[in-house]
Structure formats: structure tokens, C-alpha cells
Amino acid sequence: MDTKVADMLIGALVDGRYRVRGLVARGGMATVYAAVDERLERTVALKVIHPGQADDPRFVDRFTREAKTIARLTHPNVVAVYDQGNYEGLPYLVMEYVRGRTLRDMLSDLRRLEPVEALSILEQMLAAIAAAHRAGLVHRDVKPENVLIAEAPGTNSLMDAVVKVADFGLARAVEASAEDGDGQLLATVAYVAPELVTDGWADPRTDVYSTGIVLFEMLTGRVPYDGGKPLDIAWRHVDEDVPRPSKYVPEIPGHLDDLVVRATRRIPDERPTDAGAMLAEVQTVRDMVETEASLRGKTVAAPTIAVDTIRPVAGDERPSWARLPGRDEDQRTRRSASGTSYEARGVRSAGVRPSPRAAAGARIARSRGDAAMSWFRGVMSRPNGRRTFYVVLSVLALVVVLTGWWFGSGRYTTAPALNGLTKTQAVAAAQKAGFTVKISSSGVFEEKIPKDTVVGQDPPGHGRIVRGGTITLTLSKGPERYAVPDETGKQYDAAVADIGALNLIATRKDVYSDTVPAGIVISVSPKPTTLLQRGASVTLTVSKGKAPISVPNVIGQDFNSAAAQLSGLGLVVAQTQKQSDKPAGTVIAQNPQGGSGVEKNAQVTLTVSSGPPQVQVPNVSNQNLTFDQAAQALQQQGLVADRVNEGNGPVFNQNPPAGTTVPQGTHVQLWVYP
């Protein structure tokens, strides 16, 4: 959009409701303005499509349908669409106004983010994209420019920011309008998935790839491939593996490296099946990164060390733990003259006399502790006892280790890769590996993948799964096709509803009908049961009722009088000639028929008799033909022989003469010799 048009929109009242206040951003396909919805008194974002796109009727039609679909997508991390319309020939969207900045702006300022910050933003991005995937939508153009971040008031922490993803469906509308164009690459080349470059198709795994590139950029401050021509960059996604982020930022944890690598596999089947599957992986990695960050810098307990036993002084019967240096003084201070424990003496010094029960409890606990220590010393003093103790200790340690291993990784194994298999093959392979299989109730339409072929699995192929666990398979529903319904005889509105329910678009053609009431469907094109793609057009021919002029029946009338009668009704007369047994100039047929309804200036074609067919009279006189032979020759020409005189000889005269042109059925007189 040029600057002049953009400036003219500022201050304008769009659709009598949206007052444009200022420019927010200008992109390749549209310009975004801040506006005020004067009806609801709220600030909204007005996205106005550029004239270059608006001139394409395919784009406008697809854009309108996509806008309606996105408006039904409700999620806290999706930029909501409130309204859609057309202003001075330019399609526009009315969207939620997010007070913040794009992820692109943030990366321009900060260059790169801390791992926990990047994962926090990515989680909300994937939550939004996963909601779209569940609704059957693919974004196709995930990039920092389409991610809006509203930071929490009073804090600069990105952990508390709200992330919203924008422009769902807009990329698909442009893609549809470019199908017959120069084949230019739709998605931004820095984030484009290999399958979009090579085949031009996209599914949820395409968004997973682009999201992985966005994560790479948040962690490193750069995209994997840049510089050179856009087409060259796009093909690098096809020919090269995305490098690990730690190649550029060595301190990035290995978990994040692995996550980026899994999300950006060149083969779609090796990525998470959709944004929901990737979100689960991101949450696991985030927990690991946050745990490592929380432990970093904390004091770690020193390892236990062995202390040499102190030999007792002769006659000292106290246990070794009581004979450590300084222990005598400690013992003396811990006992009062009456033998009361340190705890009891402390209570007394506070002015409270300890109860006999408390003093007895302390003596019992002390006695039990002494007994336990005596038992332990007895066990450790015997060689077999020490061996038994260490064996038991080893067994307990092994149990702890095995238990930790089992719950940490031991009970897990690797899920088989089932994508591309038929349903029967996938179920057999999963069951052979010891897993149960669940078929997702929501399949996915695929133009190039046969019906009942696995296109997604949860957990993904080669992903972690509990032994004997359940693998959920998503199957292809085949090409998205809908059979044209037979709407003949239905009211137009009901027919439109039926066609719309099949994701087809109804168009109307009105004609007059002498037999079908007004508003009733006369015919459907293409014919019923024809299979069409989503969004294809179905033409409904609808009756306008009987036309205002009733055509009179003029068959049998002279052409001139019939033409005068029809012209007097405002009709146009056309004429064709045809031989018949009716007199020349007589109307022998008409189209439309008498009683039909037509509009003014409609054409009525009259078929007019040119009279009976004309034939030449053959020469049957002086040909040495008997009467019967001559009559037969005349009959072959459609003529009738009449005997003028009696006789059995040959015919010597005829009337009309030979060569005369006469109507069929004419009588020819014959004279015969006696």
C-alpha cells in the first residue's frame, strides 16, 4: 500500500464503526492500524489488505472464507478476529489489539533470549498453534513477525509475558491466489519447511519445523541460513540439516539442542506430529532446564569420609563416639548435679519444672539409642556381621538404583515409526512390538496420501513411551472431496444450507419456468454425486415462476397473421421453412409452444409449410409400357395413375406431360392402345 493511501485512512471511519487512529505496522501483504470500535468503545487492530492482493478475486474469496474460519478459533494465545469487511475495495480484518511488541522487535533489541525465557515464549506459541491444528488449520507462516508479546506491567520478566500468535489463515489465502501465478515461495524463506519448497504442501508438521527455527533464533540471535538469494536459502532447508544451537552459543544445554534438532528434521515423519506433541516435549525440556538452573550456584554437601577410631584410655569404658576430643567437657556440661539431661536443665532454667513423664521419656529414648548403638557395635565387631551388613547395604542401594532407573527410564522404550503404513500394517507392527493401538477419531484430509494411511502418531516415531503403552494413530482421510447433493425440488435457502454443510459454495442462476414454482431449485450443476474439492462452486438453477407474457397458439394460421399477433405482444418472430401436406405459408409448428410464459422481446420461432414436396413427372408414354407398368413408375415418384380409356395395349399418351414439376400425390392421366 502506498503512503498516500495509508495517510488517507488515518482518521477515516471504516464501515461506520471503526475510527482509524494511527499506523501500527506495514507488511508485505497488509497494513495494520490502531482503531477505535465506536460501537463497543474498545481499541482494535485494523488489518487492511494491500491493493495488489485485493485486485485478485481468488484471494478475496479465499480471504473471506479463511477469516470466518479463524473467527471461530478461540484461544487465549491466538489473536482474536472480531469482524471482516471491505473498505473502498480493500478487504480488511478487525482483530484484537495487543499492547506490546512483536518477537522480531524483541530480538532486535535483545539479540537472543535466555533458554528459560525462550521456552516460556515457545510454550504459549505452541499452545496457540496446537489449538489451530486441532481445528484442522495450518498456519504456514510461523515467524517472529507473527508473534506478539505483551509484557506484564511493572516487570521486565518475559516469564510473565502473554504471547499471542497472529495471521492464521492469511498465508493460506495468499497461497490459493498464487496457485496460478509465478510459483513464488509463500512462507518466509528463513523459516520455510522443506516440503513447502519441494512439493508446495503443508500439514501440522510444517508449522513444527518453522517453530523449531524460531526457537533456534531465540537461542542464538540468528537464523540457521541467511545471506544470498531467497531461493538459495529456501533450498538449503531441503539440502542441509539445521545445526545445533550450541554451535553458536556453547553454553546452551544439550536438551535444547536435541529439541531443536527433532523439530527441524528434514523428513516430516521424524518431527513431532503436531504442535501439541511438540508442546509436551517443550514442557519436559523446560522442567529440566529450570531444575538445572535452580541447582546452579547452590552449596553441595561434602562427601562422607571415614574417621579413624580413637583408642580409649585404660579403664575408660565409654563408647568410642563419647571419647572424641572435647567430649569430657561436653558431657560435664550436659549433666546437672542430679543427673538431669541438658534439655531438662534448660527447661528448669527457664523457671519451668520438668514433669516426671518427660524426664522418663528422655531416659527411655536415651536408653533405646544406647541399645541400638550397642547392637550395631556388636554386629560390626564380628567379621560375618560386617559382611552381612555390607551385603544388606549393597542390596538396598541396588534396589534404590533400580527403582530410580525403572521410574526414570527403565520402564520406557522407543516407539516404532508407523507413519506411512496402512492402518492394518501399523496396528500389526505396534502389537508385535507389545503396544496397544488407539485410532484418533479426527483424521486428516490429505491430497497425496491414500485413505487409512498413518499420517501422525503420539508419541512420535522413535520417541519415548512406556513399555506396553498405547500409541495413538492419526489416519489420512484421503483427498478432501464432497459429493454434490441432489437439491432439485427444494427451496433455494434449504439447498444453500445443504451445500454449505458440505464445505461447498452455492451460486444462483434464475430462470423462468412454466412448471416449477418461484424459489424452487430446477437443476444442479455439476450433476448430483459429482465429487468436488472443499470450496468448489455448485450452481443452483432457480425458478422465477412463469414468465409475464403467455405465448398464443398460432399453429394452422397463415404466417403473416400469426407474426402480426406475436409482434403485437412484444415478441420477436423468427421463421423456418419445411415441406408438408399443408398449404404453403401455413404455420405448422412453433417454439415456445402455445401457453408458455416468456419475457418481453423473447424470440418465438414459427415453422411454416412450403407446401407438399415437388416431383417431376416421369415419361411413361410411348415407352412400350402397359398401364400397370406405367402406374408403378408413377407411384414410385409419389404420383397416382388414372386410366382414361379402355385397352390392353401400351401407354401412348400422358397428362401432365413428362418433365412437369407437380406436388406429390398429383394424378396423371394415361391413354392406352386398344
- The span from the CA of 159 to the CA of 148, in Å, is 14
Kind and range of the H or E run holding 261: helix 254-263
**Closest-CA residue to 144 (of 96, 109, 183):** 109
State which of 67, 96, 125 marks the end of a domain: 96
| Domain-embedded: residue 182 | yes
Given this model, what pLDDT does residue 447 score?
Answer: 85
**C-alpha angle 141/58/89, rounded to 5°?**
95
Q: Answer with the one of 275, 293, 311 that is the final residue of a domain.
A: 293
Check the CA dihedral 566-568-571-572 and report its sign: positive
Is 344 part of any domain?
no
Task: Classify strands 614-616 and 587-591 as parallel, antiparallel or unpaired.
Answer: unpaired
Torsion of CA 582, 585, 591, 597, to 10 degrees: -110
Indicate whether 237 and 260 sit together in one domain. yes
Q: What is the pLDDT of residue 381?
A: 63
Q: Which region holds residue 400: left if phi is over 0, alpha if psi is between -120 and 50, else beta?
A: alpha
Q: Which residues, in sequence order, are CB contacts of 610 under 8 Å at separation 6+?
A: 577, 578, 579, 580, 584
Domain that holds residue 76: 3-96
Q: How many residues does the chain have?
A: 674
Instruction: Give every CB contact of residue 123 below 8 A, 6+ residues apart in sequence.
Output: 279, 282, 283, 286
CATH number at residue 28: 3.30.200.20
* C-alpha cell at position 632: 408403378
Q: Which stretches of the chain score pLDDT less than 50?
A: 1-6, 173-186, 299-356, 358
Rounded to whole angstroms, how far apart are CA atoms 334 and 499?
Answer: 94
Q: Is residue 304 a part of any domain in this protein?
A: no
Note whether 586 and 544 are within 8 A (CB).
no
Contact 627, 582 (CB under 8 A): no
Task: Determine the Cα–Cα distance for residues 605 and 598; give it in Å rounded to an integer.
Answer: 13
Is the pTM for the entire model greater than 0.85? no
Residues 121 and 207 in one domain: yes
* Burial class for 290, CB neighbours closer than 10 Å (0-12, 13-18, 19+): middle
- The DSSP line for 455-478 is EEEESPTT-EEETT-EEEEEEB--
Residue 664, all three cell numbers: 406429390
Select from 96, 124, 143 the last residue of a domain. Answer: 96
Tell me, rounded to whole angstroms, the distance of Cα 271 from its chain centroid: 18
Same domain, 160 and 234: yes
Whether 88 and 107 share a structural domain: no
Q: Which cell numbers hold the place of 485?
A: 447433493
d(CA 627, CA 196): 93
434 close to 468: Cβ distance less than 8 angstroms: yes
Give domain status of residue 374, yes or no.
yes
3-class DSSP state for residue 450? coil
Domains in the chain: how many in total? 7
Same-domain check for residues 137 and 14:
no
C-alpha cell belonging to residue 411: 520402564
Residue pLDDT, tens place only, 193-242: 999 888 888 899 999 999 999 999 999 999 999 877 888 899 999 999 99
Same domain, 134 and 256: yes
Residues whose CB is less than 8 angstroms from the CB of residue 127 and which lie 6 or more positions away in sequence, other chains included: 75, 77, 275, 279
Does residue 438 share a domain with residue 383?
A: no
Query: Out of 56, 141, 167, 203, which one is annotated catalytic?
Result: 141
Are residues 578 and 461 part of one domain?
no
Residue 144 lies in a domain: yes
In a domain, 636, yes or no: yes
Instruction: For residues 195 and 192, give the distance between their C-alpha atoms in angstroms, rounded to a whole number.
Output: 8
pLDDT confidence of residue 330: 42
In the block, cell 490502531 appears at 34
Residues 147 and 255 in one domain: yes
- CA distances 272 to 136, 269, 294, 423, 522, Å, are 16, 8, 28, 19, 50
Query: Are the C-beta atoms of 27 and 93 separated by less than 8 Å?
Result: no
Together in a domain, 60 and 119 = no
- 235 within a domain of the structure (yes/no): yes
> Is the domain of 17 the same as that of 149?
no
Q: What is the DSSP annotation of 648-669?
A: SS-EEEEESPTT-EEETT-EEE
Residue 158 lies in a domain: yes
- CATH number for the domain harbouring residue 501: 3.30.10.20
Annotation says 160 is catalytic? no
Cα distance between residue 102 and residue 146, in whole Å: 7
Q: Domain check: are 136 and 252 in the same one?
A: yes
* Structural contact between residues 598 and 551, judged by C-beta atoms closer than 8 angstroms: yes
CATH number of the domain within which 203 lies: 1.10.510.10
